[in-house]
Amino acid sequence: MKNIFVTILTALVLTSCAEKKEVSLETLLATNDVAKIKAKKATMDAKQQLLSTDLKAINDKLDALIENKNIPLITALTVKETVFTHFIELQGNVQTKQNILIYPELPGILKTM
């Protein structure tokens, strides 16, 4: 008789001390209950805001404590005015449905414009 009471008492203590399982997001969305979904969204928004404020406080404290930051080095150069000469050379193939001959207006090499 004592063993039964001990067993029942142990079972009750273990079940009462067990963690309450939170409903997963997939099952909550599958219920299509708007009120429960809005409540879940509100709790998640509150958690997100709390975490973002904590993270901002941590980042501010780290910025204040770290003196040797990895700041990128910037080099400034003085620019001189020079002549800018350049050219373009094009080469390619054109595929058409009909054969067409195209001749330039001026034969030869164009040196100046």
Spatial distance between the Cα atoms of 56 and 35, rounded to a whole number of angstroms: 32
Assess whether pLDDT exceeds 90 at residue 9.
Answer: no
Residue 27 has which token pair? 């099952």
Model confidence over 34-91: pLDDT tens digits?
Answer: 998 999 999 999 999 999 999 999 999 988 888 777 777 888 899 999 998 888 888 8
Q: Which residue has the higher pLDDT, 48 or 17?
A: 48
Assess whether pLDDT exceeds 80 at residue 26.
Answer: yes
Assess whether pLDDT exceeds 70 at residue 32.
Answer: yes
Residues sharing a CB contact under 8 Å with residue 36, sequence separation 6 or more, in sequence order: 28
Q: Where do we find the tokens 């963690």? A: 19
Spatial distance between the Cα atoms of 4 and 10, rounded to a whole number of angstroms: 10
Question: What average pLDDT score do residues 89-112 get?
Answer: 79
Query: Is-contact 37 29, C-beta < 8 A?
Result: yes
Spatial distance between the Cα atoms of 48 and 39, rounded to a whole number of angstroms: 14
Query: Is-contact 40 25, C-beta < 8 A?
Result: yes
| HSE-CB of 103 using CA atoms within 13 angstroms | 3
Spatial distance between the Cα atoms of 103 and 108, rounded to a whole number of angstroms: 11
